[in-house]
Amino acid sequence: MTDLTQKTAHVPPAVTLGNTLPWILSIAFLAIAPQIFSSNSAITIMNQMGITIVFALAYNMLLGQGGMLSFGHAVYMGVGGFACVHIMNMETFFSYLPLPFLPIFGGVVGMLLAVIVGSFSTRRAGTVFAMISLGVGELIAACSVIIVVFFGGEEGISGDRTYGMPFFGIEFLQHIEVYYLTAFWLLLSAFLMFMFSRTPVGRMANAVRDNPERAEFLGYSSRWVRFYSFVASGFFCGIAGGLFAINYEILTEENLNLATSGGILLMTFLGGAGFFFGPVIGAVVFILLQTVLGLQTDLWALYVGALFLATVMFFPGGFAGLLMMHVTPIRLGKMHVLYVPYLKTFIPGILAVLGICSVIEIVFHARHAPLGDEDMTIFWTTFNSHSIVAWIVAIAIAVIGVWLTKKAAPGLVEAWHEANTPDKGASA
């Protein structure tokens, strides 16, 4: 506590190791990731992740930073993306436009849409805001089949990114080139969004989230603070839309609909809306589940849904919250207290989850596989889904797993308490 008086006059320097290291590591990781995960499908997945991270971070400017729950945020990304495809199709203009600059147009269009919608939707937060966002989202999604000129009806509209002006000789024919373009925009957008959260209006967004009335009595109009956050969010959603247009060269109704809006809410919450980096984790985990798990089982969405429910009910801080919970034990130097209880709880816990999943998969296979196809494979084991043995084994694993987890849980709670209590004699 003695160093606090010195801290009083101390202003942190703009650049420190602590605040630049995460960015340096991110840049390094994004630069070498294609070397590690070099397959075509891996790069496709990483592109998808990059775009989704930008979208999720932009979404969290509202949800986490500003306390605004939007149910129709896909439209800002979607409309920005549609605009970019239209620019791709404007042959003469596009042939003078280097492709890396295209997302800016998406951003501007997303921002303009946010200015229009935000002018009436940000008057209130809470339910009113959520309902307006839902209504506007549905309205624009419905427009996709009405305003065919812009949205292309059911088949959407497509373009060709390679018609753009070559950028230092790069024509973006290959996925890897698109990857680096996406990675560049991801870093730039993430950095700008982080900086936004450090500006006066970004700080006040937190204040308005916590207590709009108090903010009013400090000279700030809650509505204007929300409006600025909303517009900034729209801009970065539009950037994500532009990246989507570049990556997939097609936009459809799917980019506007409620499922996409719901998905971004789900992954932002899963990752942890309370922390800036939360949506990054959420987007990565979600895309991994969608692509990797999606290849393994038709039921991936069920598992994602269960995971989401578990997050909402048991760890509302999301993955980021779970990670940050460990800051106190680390500071106290007591992480070691947790290792054994963690192993004791999580190994049977994982076993239980796998057992339950096996039961579900076996039921699903037994009920839905084509007639005569009784062999199924999970966890590298092939067996007959109609045999009683398989059922008994799966149920037994699930039951034993749950039982062992329950048995170990009190020990974990105790260890957790212990890890968060400073040692006697040590200063608080």
Ordered DSSP codes for 340-403: HHHHHHHHHHHHHHHHHHHHHHHHHHHHHSPTT--EEEETTEEEETT-HHHHHHHHHHHHHHHH
**Span interacting with other proteins, options 113-121, 191-199, 334-342, 355-363, rule CB under 8 A:** 191-199
- Residue 196 touching other proteins (CB under 8 A): yes
Cβ proximity to other proteins, 1 vs 313, nearer residue: 1
Return the number of the residue (17 or 146) whose C-beta is nearest other proteins. Answer: 17
Query: Which of 13, 370 has the CB closer to other proteins?
Result: 13
Collapsed DSSP state (helix, strand, coil) of residue 249: coil
| Angle, vertex CA 270, rays to CA 117 and CA 215, nearest 5 | 50
Q: Which of 140, 215, 352, 408 binds other proteins (CB under 8 A)?
A: 215
- Cβ proximity to other proteins, 96 vs 217, nearer residue: 217
Q: Please choose, out of 117-125, 137-145, 208-216, 345-353, the segment that lies near other proteins by the rule CB under 8 A.
A: 208-216
Give which of 243, 33, 230 is closest to 124, Cα–Cα: 230
Q: Is 213 in the site for other proteins (CB under 8 A)?
A: yes
Q: How far is the CB of 209 from other proteins (least distance, A)?
A: 8
Q: Taking CB under 8 A as the rule, does residue 327 contact other proteins?
A: no
- The count of residues interacting with other proteins (CB under 8 A) is 37
CB of 317 to other proteins, least distance (A): 12
**Which residue's CB is nearer to other proteins, number 36 or number 218?**
218
> Which of 25, 27, 139, 195 is close enough to bind other proteins by CB under 8 A?
195
Q: From CA 123, how far away is CA 117, in angstroms rounded? A: 11
- For 250, the enclosing helix (H) or strand (E) is strand 250-251
Among 9, 371, 389, 426, binds other proteins (CB under 8 A): 9
Q: Are strands 381-384 and 375-378 parallel, antiparallel or unpaired?
A: antiparallel
CA distance 385 to 323: 39
* Strand, helix or coil for residue 186: helix
16 binds other proteins (CB under 8 A): no
Task: Report CA Rg, the chain.
Answer: 24
Q: What does the alpha-carbon distance between residue 253 and residue 143 come to, in Å, rounded to a whole number?
A: 9
CB of 359 to other proteins, least distance (A): 41
Nearest-angstrom CA–CA distance, 357 and 186: 35
CA–CA distances in Å: residue 218 to residues 31, 73, 156, 212, 251: 45, 30, 47, 10, 44
3-state helix, strand, coil split of the chain in percent (to 5) is 75, 5, 20
Work out whether 331 is an interface residue with other proteins (CB under 8 A): no
319 and 271 Cβ atoms separated by less than 8 Å? yes
**Candidate ranges 114-122, 169-177, 182-190, 196-204; the one touching other proteins (CB under 8 A):** 196-204
Q: Name the one range near other proteins by CB under 8 A: 100-108, 119-127, 206-214, 410-418.
A: 206-214
Q: Does the protein bind other proteins through residue 6 (CB under 8 A)? A: no
Neighbour-count burial of 416, counting CB atoms closer than 10 A to its CB (0-12 exposed, 13-18 middle, 19+ buried): middle
Question: Pick from 23, 28, 174, 203: which binds other proteins (CB under 8 A)?
Answer: 203
Tell the smallest beta-carbon distance from residue 100 to other proteins (Å). 24
Q: Taking the chain, what is the end-to-end CA distance rounded to the nearest angstrom?
A: 9
Binding mask 230-249 for other proteins (x = CB under 8 A): --x-----------------
CB of 373 closer than 8 Å to CB of 320: no
Q: Is 220 in the site for other proteins (CB under 8 A)?
A: yes
* Secondary structure (DSSP) of 137-176: HHHHHHHHHH-HHHH-GGG-EE--GGGSBPBTTB---SHH
218 forms part of the interface with other proteins (CB under 8 A) = yes
Count other C-beta atoms under 10 Å from residue 44's C-beta: 16
Q: Provide, rounded to whole angstroms, the least separation between the CB of residue 62 and other proteins.
A: 15
- Is 206 an interacting residue with respect to other proteins (CB under 8 A)? yes
* Of 168 and 217, CB closest to other proteins: 217
- Whose Cβ is closer to other proteins: residue 124's or residue 175's? 124
202 binds other proteins (CB under 8 A): yes
Give the binding range for other proteins (CB under 8 A) out of 7-15, 140-148, 366-374, 377-385. Answer: 7-15
Report whether 300 contacts 294 (CB < 8 A).
yes
| Residue 426 C-beta: closest distance to other proteins, Å | 17
Nearer of residues 215 and 398 to other proteins, judged by Cβ: 215
For other proteins, the binding residues (CB under 8 A) are: 1, 4-5, 7-9, 11-12, 14, 195-196, 198-204, 206-207, 209-211, 213-222, 224-225, 228, 232
